[in-house]
């Protein structure tokens, strides 16, 4: 299958069930909201080592935030519903509560919730007080600037992690241009985030390694410099660079839409070949077939 001059492999991306939360950070200015979001999503590219995946979803106008101030929506995913509460408490406590002028609200309407403000309130050392607004329980935690306002509980839900595209280019510049275009198009889908820097991964990994105790190692099949020596190489002669894009989302439909946009955007910018990573369908419950997605 081809889109313009880009060949799309007849394969699928294999994704996994994760658990997600949406955090709304507000502040007096966009700059402070962005600063808190940037700090909160630091070291959050992969559950392999970071224990969660997180990124900014979008900016929110004053008209659409709980307190009428500039806002940022952040999505955070972990592999287990049991671990997400701890990540929310740690990252909000260390990265949002510490940031000047911020407040923090739940952004996910879900039947399943975890206590976050209800745990962070103890930082107030008995000076904290609860506040109920329109049936919504919040905590006012005293800080040196004034007070930090946070929702008592945050919604969590089953989500999808590991949707992906692998984009080949005839040169590093071509591959980078095509991949950046794809990432930009994918980030525009509501409920989707790309956890790696600007959405791109140059050090794609495979399961296992030749070294004991390593659970992941370089994906030699897609390393151009190993084309002549790796038995697993999947690099055509004219390809000089490969980038991967990983997409996490709150549901399957969002991942499919993001991947579709990414495929078409990369094709428009001269990608030579597009494939996806999978494990033979044995590990992840979600299978996103590239031909089906591109034609839908």
Query: DSSP assignment of 190-256, as one string?
Result: TTEE--SGGGEESS-EEE--SSTT-SEEE-GGG-GGGTTT-TT----TT--EEEEEEEEESSHHHHH
Q: Which fold, 17-157?
A: Alpha-Beta Plaits (3.30.70)
SS3 of residue 119 by DSSP: helix
pLDDT of 296 strictly over 90: no
Q: What would the CATH number be for the domain defined by 2-14+159-295?
A: 3.30.70.520
Q: Which two tokens stand for residue 69?
A: 């101030």
Record the pTM.
Answer: 0.94
CATH 3.30.70.520 location in the chain = 2-14+159-295, 17-157
pLDDT, residue 283, reads 84
pLDDT, residue 282, reads 85
pLDDT of 250 strictly over 90: yes
pLDDT, residue 237, reads 87
**pLDDT digit string (tens) for 80-108?**
999 999 999 999 999 999 999 999 999 99
- Name residue 8's beta-bridge partners: 274
**pLDDT digit string (tens) for 3-25?**
999 999 999 999 999 999 999 99
What average pLDDT does the chain have? 96
**pLDDT digit string (tens) for 200-223?**
999 999 989 999 989 999 999 999
Neighbours of 243 (CB within 10 A): 26
> 280 in the Ramachandran plot: left (φ > 0), alpha (ψ -120 to 50) or beta?
left
pLDDT, residue 142, reads 98
């Amino acid at each position: 299958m081809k889109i313009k001059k880009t060949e799309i492999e007849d394969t699928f991306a294999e994704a996994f069930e994760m658990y997600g939360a949406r955090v709304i950070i507000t502040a007096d200015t966009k700059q402070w909201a962005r600063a808190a979001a940037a700090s909160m999503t630091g070291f959050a590219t992969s559950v392999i080592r970071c224990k969660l995946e997180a990124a900014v979803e979008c900016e929110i106008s004053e008209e659409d935030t709980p307190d009428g101030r500039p806002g940022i929506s952040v999505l955070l995913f972990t592999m287990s519903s049991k671990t997400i509460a701890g990540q929310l408490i740690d990252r909000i406590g260390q990265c949002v509560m510490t940031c000047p002028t911020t407040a923090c609200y739940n952004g996910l309407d879900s039947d399943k919730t975890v206590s976050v403000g209800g745990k962070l309130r103890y930082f107030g050392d008995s000076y904290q007080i609860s506040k109920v607004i329109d049936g919504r329980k919040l905590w006012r935690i005293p800080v040196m600037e004034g007070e930090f306002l946070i929702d008592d509980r945050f919604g969590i839900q089953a989500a999808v992690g590991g949707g992906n595209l692998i984009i080949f280019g005839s040169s590093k510049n071509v591959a980078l241009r095509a991949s950046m275009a794809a990432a930009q198009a994918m980030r525009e889908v509501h409920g989707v985030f790309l956890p790696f820097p600007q959405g791109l991964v140059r050090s794609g990994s495979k399961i296992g390694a030749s070294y004991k105790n390593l659970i992941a190692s370089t994906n030699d099949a897609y390393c151009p410099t190993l084309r002549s020596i790796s038995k697993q190489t999947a690099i055509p002669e004219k390809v000089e660079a490969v980038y991967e894009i990983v997409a996490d989302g709150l549901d399957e439909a969002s991942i499919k839409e993001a991947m579709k946009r990414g495929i078409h955007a990369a094709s428009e910018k001269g990608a030579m070949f597009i494939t996806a990573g999978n494990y033979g369908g044995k590990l992840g419950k979600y299978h996103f077939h590239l031909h089906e997605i591109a034609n839908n």
